[in-house]
Amino acid sequence: MHPTVVMSNHVHVYVSQAHKGELVMGAGVDSYNGYGQRGSFHLIERQMAAALELFPVFARAHVLRTWGGIVDVTPDASPIIGPTPVGNLFLNCGWGTGGFKATPASGWVYAHAIATGEPHPLAEAFTLERFTTGALIDEHGAAAVAH
Amino acid sequence: MLLIACPWCGEREELEFHYGGQAHVAHPAEPEGLSDSQWGEYLFVRDNPKGPFAERWSHSAGCRRWFNVVRHTVTHEILAVYPAGQPKPVILP
Ligand SMILES: Cc1cc2nc3c(=O)[nH]c(=O)nc-3n(C[C@H](O)[C@H](O)[C@H](O)COP(=O)(O)OP(=O)(O)OC[C@H]3O[C@@H](n4cnc5c(N)ncnc54)[C@H](O)[C@@H]3O)c2cc1C
Ligand SMILES: [Zn+2]
C-alpha cells in the first residue's frame, strides 16, 4: 500500500509501512522537560491529523500502540560531539529525535575524537565549546524535525 | 495533556500555554563583568531534575502573562502555581 517512507515538514509527519503491514509514524517533542516516557495525547492527536492530511485513506486504520521516550535536547537542538574540559571524558549526545539515522557518521567522528583527543574536522562546530563562544548551530529547521 | 491553573484565568489546557524553562534564573547584576564561560553558563546551563521543577509558563493564548509553576517531571503533577517574582515554595522531592 505504501512502498516508501514519506515525510512532510509542512504538516510535520513521517510514515512508513512495516513488513507486517502496520504503519509506523513519528510525532513531535513535548515543549517541557519530562521523564514520564508516556507520550502526550495532544501530540499523538496532532500526528494522526497530519498523517490524514497526507493520506485520507488512513482514516480507517486503528491505533495499535504508541511509544514515548526521553530525548536529549540541547539549547540549539543540535548534538554535542567531541572532547570536554575533563580529561578522557568525551560527549556524543543531544541527538534529540535524530540519533538513529545519524549513527554511521556520528560513530565515525566520535571514534576520531576518542582516538586523537581532537574533534573530527566534520564535527568541529559541534563541540561543547559552542555554548561558550556563542557559535551555535543554526539548523533547527533542517536537523531536528521529523525523520 | 496538562491542565494548568493560570493565576488569572483558572484551569486551561496545556495547548494555551508557552513553556519558558527553569524559573528563578536571575539576570546577572553586572553582565559586562562576566567571562564568556560565565555568560554561557547564565544563557544555557539549567537544572534538569527528575522530580519537582520550578519553571516558567506563559498563558500565551489567554491573558499572555508569565507565571511560575512547580511541576513533577515524572508524574507531571502540578505542585504549585505562583506569580513571577515570588519565592519558590518549599516542596520536598
Ligand atoms: C521516542 C523517540 C523517538 C526517536 N525517533 C527517532 C527517529 O525517528 N530517528 C532517529 O534517527 N532517531 C530517533 N530517536 C533518537 C535515537 O533513538 C537516539 O538518539 C539514539 O538511540 C541514541 O543512541 P546512543 O547510542 O547515543 O544512546 P542510547 O541508545 O540511549 O544508548 C545508551 C546506552 O547506555 C546504557 N547505559 C546508560 N547508563 C549506563 C551505565 N551506567 N552503565 C552501562 N550502560 C549504561 C543504556 O542502557 C543504553 O543502552 C528517537 C528517540 C526517542 C526516545
Ligand atoms: Zn491567563
C-alpha cell, A127: 563541540
Residue B40 falls inside a structural domain: yes
Contact B37, B47 (CB under 8 A): no
Residue B15 falls inside a structural domain: yes
A77 vs B24, residue with greater confidence? B24
Distance (Å) from the alpha carbon of A31 to chain B's nearest alpha carbon? 6
The mean per-residue pLDDT over the stretch B39-56 comes to 96
pTM: 0.90
HSE on the CB side for A144, CA within 13 Å?
19
Give A136-140's long-range contacts (Cβ < 8 A, gap of 24+). A136/A75, A136/A76, A136/A78, A137/A76, A137/A78, A138/A76, A139/A78, A140/A76, A140/A77, A140/A78
Which among A95, A101, A145 is the best mutation to test ligand 1's pocket, defined by most ligand atoms within 8 Å of the CB? Answer: A95
In the prediction, which pLDDT does A110 show?
A: 97
Residue B78 falls inside a structural domain: yes
C-alpha cell, A41: 495525547
Q: Mark out the alpha helices in chain B (DSSP H runs).
A: 36-44
- Residue B36: its chain A contacts at CB < 8 A? 132-134
Q: Which ipTM value was assigned to this complex?
A: 0.89
C-alpha cell, B32: 559586562
What's the domain range around B17? 3-26+36-83
Asked if B19's CB is within 8 angstroms of A35's CB, the reply is: no
For B71-86, how does the pLDDT look when each residue is reduced to its tens digit (9 = 90+)? 999 999 999 999 999 9
Contact B13, B48 (CB under 8 A): no
- Residue A34: its chain B contacts at CB < 8 A? 73-74, 76
* Number of independent structural domains in chain B: 1
The mean per-residue pLDDT over the stretch B51-68 comes to 97
pLDDT of B32 > 70? The answer is yes
Residue B67 falls inside a structural domain: yes
Q: How many helices (H) and strands (E) does chain B have?
A: 1, 6
CA dihedral B21, B27, B32, B34 (to 10 degrees): -70
Contact A20, B58 (CB under 8 A): no
How far is Cα A145 from Cα A14, in angstroms, rounded to an integer? 10
- Cross-chain CB nearest to A33 (options B15, B18, B48): B48
In the prediction, which pLDDT does B86 show?
A: 94
Residue B31 falls inside a structural domain: no
DSSP string, A23-55: EEEE----SS-----S--HHHHHHHHHHHHHH-
In the prediction, which pLDDT does B93 show?
A: 62
Residue B18 falls inside a structural domain: yes
In the prediction, which pLDDT does A144 show?
A: 44
Residue B48 falls inside a structural domain: yes
Beta bridge partners of B66: B58
Looking at residue A25, its amino acid is M
The domain spanning residue B19 has which CATH number? 3.30.2270.10
Give A15-18's long-range contacts (Cβ < 8 A, gap of 24+). A15/A51, A15/A54, A15/A55
C-alpha cell, A8: 512532510
Residues of chain A predicted below pLDDT 50: 144
In the prediction, which pLDDT does A140 show?
A: 65
Residue B47 falls inside a structural domain: yes
